[in-house]
Amino acid sequence: MSNGIDLLDFGRELVARQRGRAAILLSRDYPGQESWANRLAAHVGAPHLDLARELARQGRDFSMAAFSVDGLFRNLVNRVGAELLVVSGIEPIKASWSHNPRATELLAQQVETWNKKPALLFVLHHDAQLAGMRFTRFTGLRFVVEQEKTLKF
């Protein structure tokens, strides 16, 4: 696919942005998502955090209720010493937001307005609402990318 999105360039672009320093990469391959996110992180030279794995590791000592949409982003501020962080495995946290009909919209707003470090690249199972969402605050910036529209690495 010669017209695909180069994720190395896209990662550099996220880091260089003043605002809107986060994006969502939608994957239709849920079983292979963590492995693909690991390879993506290695490709762009960024650490990878899989939140589902971290939740499982922390077990009873961890309260998913602490992860509102805002809480998720607060937890990621200055999480690593890197400029870019690849984050996967947010589906269990996202599922805990099901009581909030605006949760996906709030996630999109946080992505669009993120101006802190590190820049964030979420790898998330395909979500039709996110895929169709219009981001209008910062025209010309890409916030949602479909995995199948990226260059292979």
CA distance 33 to 23: 16
State the DSSP string of 88-118. Answer: E--HHHHHTTTT-TTHHHHHHHHHHH--SSS
> What integer pLDDT is reported at residue 66 of this predicted model?
60
The domain locations on the chain are 7-146
The predicted model scores a pTM of 0.91
| Cα 32 to the center of its chain, rounded Å | 16
**In Å, what is the CA distance from 87 to each residue of 102, 135, 146?**
21, 20, 16
Assess contact for 119 and 85: CB atoms under 8 A: yes
> What integer pLDDT is reported at residue 142 of this predicted model?
94
Residue ranges for the chain with pLDDT beneath 70: 1-2, 59-66
Q: Could you give the 3-state DSSP secondary structure of residue 147?
A: helix
Half-sphere exposure of residue 1, counting CA atoms within 13 Å on the CB side?
11
Phi, psi dihedral angles at 11 (to 5 degrees): -60, -40
> What integer pLDDT is reported at residue 1 of this predicted model?
44
CATH number of 7-146: 3.40.50
